Amino acid sequence: MRKLSEENRELKERLEEQTRALKERERELQELQTKYETLKVAKSLSGVAPEGGDAKSKINLIIRDLDRCIGLLNR
């Protein structure tokens, strides 16, 4: 019984460690995705990317979103 309890405790510790590691990796992935999106937008704004003409539509979309948010705040 003691041996099984000890094994159970060790497995729980390993599970907690793996859970922490997974959460850390998920956080890192989210940061990298954000950086990637920022880089894509920066390249499209600089005209380096082939979809450089898409920059104006992205800016217009951002402006519309901002206008909508300001409108909601003014209510």
pLDDT in tens, 37-64: 888 877 777 765 555 566 677 788 888 9
- 52: helix, strand or coil: coil
| CA torsion through residues 62, 63, 66, 67, sign | negative
Residue 5 pLDDT grade (very low, low, confident, very high; cuts 50, 70, 90):
very high
**How large a percentage of the chain has pLDDT more than 90?**
49
Per the structure, the complete domain to which residue 13 belongs is given by 2-74
